Structure 1
Amino acid sequence: MILDDFIYLNDKGIYCPYGDFYIDPQHPVAVAVISHAHADHAVSGNAEVYCTEPTMAFMQLRYGKSAAKAFNITGWHQSFMIKGVKLTFMSAGHMLGSAMILMEYDGTSYLYTGDFKLQTDPTCEPIEWHKSDVLITESTFANPAVTHPDPVAEIKKLNDIKMNIMLGAYGLGKSQRLIAMINEYTPQKKILVHHKIMPLNTIYEQSGYKLGPYQIYGRKLMKNQEEFVYIVPPFTFNSYIRADGVKRLFASGWKNLQVNLQDTLYISDHADWNDILEAVKQTDPQQIWTLHGDGKHLKNYFGNAIFVKILN
């Protein structure tokens, strides 16, 4: 039997009363199950954290000793119990270490996707599927009007830009994916990386994911060259809004983050409308619960065929 209150939102985040734990809490809690290390899903200060090993490494790098009082590291498909709830991590394909969280209780299964993507990404584990009674899905781009373009075609656009490029990207996950893609599809480009991104790259490489050649940024390097791509985090990108002698691009699935009308770079690490429909097909749920976005389009699309509950 599906329990309507198996999870719900309160002032600290997504709470499961049957296991007395939070999923990706927004404020520190006693017990947190964290899907991945992006800051909007992984806050510091939790007493006890369950996550994958890369997620712990990223959190410790970012937060130091305040990351958590205790980490419980769990591998893929290694089930564990929190009180009466059985949990299992499966790859979400979003970034290195990102997990879908399968929760089983009293004969019913609930699959929390966290952030996920279906696109091929050589810098993280590919997405996995599991049948579930309830699919608890992100709905960041759950809109029929939103379909992500082919990321390979997008990155190949850099071949046509014959000047140095300042490429804005989130430091964790997106930057590493871009480094690997640029090396594969625009190999004449030389990659420079902001110093804040370098230690994140180290964790990727220690985890066995080779990104290809890149080097730390040096101001003199770009003066007399025209094939550099300088990857910078958002705060640096925004501080150089009037930078001369470079083409400014921001790699994102969000239209409002594209800074040039003539040159866009739509590369998203989230599921689009068709991807979410594929997730429903693969998991075959009786109900869909939506988080992290707007679920109204899914509710309208499925009508009476599948019950859709909007949690946020």
Structure 2
Amino acid sequence: MSTILADFLVRTPEGYYCPYGDFYIDALQPVSQVVVSHAHGDHASPGHQQIFATAMTAAFMQHRYSSQPASSYQLKAFKEEFTLGGVAITFIPAGHILGSAQILMTYKGVKYLYTGDYKMQEDSTCEPLEIAQADVLITECTFADPSVEHPDPVAEIKKLQGRNSNIMLGTYALGKAQRLTALLNQHCPELRVLVHHGIMPFHKIYDSQLSEKMTYERYNRREMKQGEANKVYLVPPMTFNSYIRAKNVLRAFASGWKRLQSQNDISLYISDHVDWKDILQYIADVQPREIWTLHGDGRILQAYFENKLSVRDILEK
């Protein structure tokens, strides 16, 4: 059995670094070579010399970071193997947002799987999560806590029905907003979806890729004030927070975090991350020899697998 290298991927001030391939993953400071799991701002940033990403991740990044030279993007398809410094790399769908990828790295016979952010729940707006077995699972731990169980998203979105009031729905602009629009279209077709101007460009990029187009309208103040109270207005977090005293609307924010529900009129627990049960199921599917944790607190996971499986935080350089 090949030896796992404890320092194969380490945390540095720039980002997660692989010294054996001389590249970074999801670096947030400019580096020469970065492999990007997905286009959310806590994983994708500008200023790098070469960016290896899926086509959709690059499309979202090009919209957000227009000054980044187009020639710096090295587009790779899912399942297309490429090599950096002797490390073979493959993108595997992560099910988080459109274009999101797990990063499978193989070096000297050992497979290291960096999940990025991922989810197992069904989502018609992005590629579904796929399983890849690996020796080392490098997993996010956003909700790695037995007290967290994400409810059925269909049951959650149906909470918005029959409210006799327009709803202001806070959502992240990329990924979550498009998933919510699709859920509303599919399960609450009587509700009209109005979209904030900051979210519209991502809706348009999604629609260029989806086989079933979403139904939505650009926000119009007059529409919110007139006619039937059957509208859901999708707004990004900063706008949602600035409208804390908004009148004649019900407030909701789509998130897995309990702290983001307490001040709202409607709780809406819709998350794009794995919960405790899902992360345990995924570990069983991947069958790793070791687990390295990041993006959250891995101590509960470590305690759960004590004396059964090696679980530790990713090392710092």
Q: Is the shorter-chain TM-score for this pair beyond 0.5, marking a shared fold?
A: yes
Aligned residue type for 1:214: Y
Q: Tell me how far 1:66 sits from its aligned partner.
A: 2.3
Q: Which amino acid aligns with 2:122?
A: T
Match of residue 53 from structure 1 = 55
Is 1:263 the counterpart of 2:263? The answer is no
Deviations 1:122-178 (A, max 9, x none): 000000001100000000000111111111100000113220000000000000000
Match of 2:274, SS state, is coil
Tell me which residue corresponds to 1:272: 275
Match of 1:34 in 2: 36
1:91 corresponds in structure 2 to 93
Aligned to 2:310: 307
Q: What is the aligned partner in structure 2 of residue 159 from structure 1?
A: 161
Q: Which residue of 2 aligns with 1:281?
A: 284
- State how 1:106-117 maps to structure 2 within 5 Å: 106-117=108-119
Q: CA deviation at 1:68?
A: 6.6
Q: What's the CA shift for 1:28?
A: 1.2
For each residue in 1:207-237, what CA deviation from the matched residue of structure 2 results, as whole angstroms up to 9, or x when unmatched? 2353421100011001123000000111111
Inter-CA distance 39–247: structure 2 relative to 1 (3 Å threshold): same
Aligned to 2:255: 252
Deviation at 1:261, TM superposition (A): 5.9
Q: Within 2, Cα distance between the matches of 1:169 and 1:157?
A: 16
Structure-2 change in CA distance of 1:152 and 1:239 (3 Å): same
AA in 1 matched with 2:55: E
Question: CA separation of 1:130/1:247 partners in 2, compared to 1, >3 Å: closer, same or farther?
Answer: same
- Distance between the aligned counterparts of 1:145 and 1:212, measured in 2? 34
Aligned ranges 1:1-312 → 2 under 5 Å: 1-66=3-68, 70-224=72-226, 225-260=228-263, 263-311=266-314
Segments of structure 1 that go 5 or more residues without pairing to the other structure are none
| 8 Å Cα contact 2:294/2:313 also seen in 1 | yes
Name the SS for the 2:267 alignment partner: coil
Question: Which amino acid is the alignment partner of residue 246 of structure 2?
Answer: A
Q: Could you tell me which amino acid in structure 2 is paired with residue 171 of structure 1? A: A
Identity of aligned residues (%): 53
Q: Does the 8 A contact of 1:190 with 1:229 survive in 2?
A: yes
Displacement of 1:16: 0.3
- Is the 1:43–1:67 contact (alpha carbons within 8 Å) kept by the matching residues of 2? no
Q: Is the 8 A contact 2:37 2:101 kept in 1?
A: yes
- Against the structure 1 CA distance between its residues 227 and 59, is the aligned structure 2 distance closer, same or farther, given a 3 Å change threshold? same
In 1, the alpha carbon distance for the partners of 2:265 and 2:241 equals 19
Cα deviation digits, residues 235-254 of structure 1 (max 9, x gap): 11111110000001100001
Contact 2:252/2:264 (8 A) holds in 1:
no
Q: Structure 1 stretch 79-88 or stretch 195-204: which is displaced more? A: 195-204
Offset from partner CA, 1:71-115 (integer Å, 9 cap, x none): 110001000000110000010000000000000000000000000
Instruction: Supply the AA of the counterpart residue of 1:197.
Output: I
Please identify, of 119-128 and 154-163, the stretch whose mean Cα deviation from structure 2 is larger: 154-163
CA distance in 1, matches of 2:212, 2:26: 28
Instruction: Give the whole-Å Cα distance in 1 for the aligned partners of 2:71 and 2:16.
Output: 20
Q: 1:91 to 1:154 in 2, by over 3 A?
A: same
Q: How far does residue 4 in structure 1 lie from its aligned partner after superposition?
A: 0.3
Instruction: Give the Cα separation in 2 of the matches to 1:192 and 1:100.
Output: 32
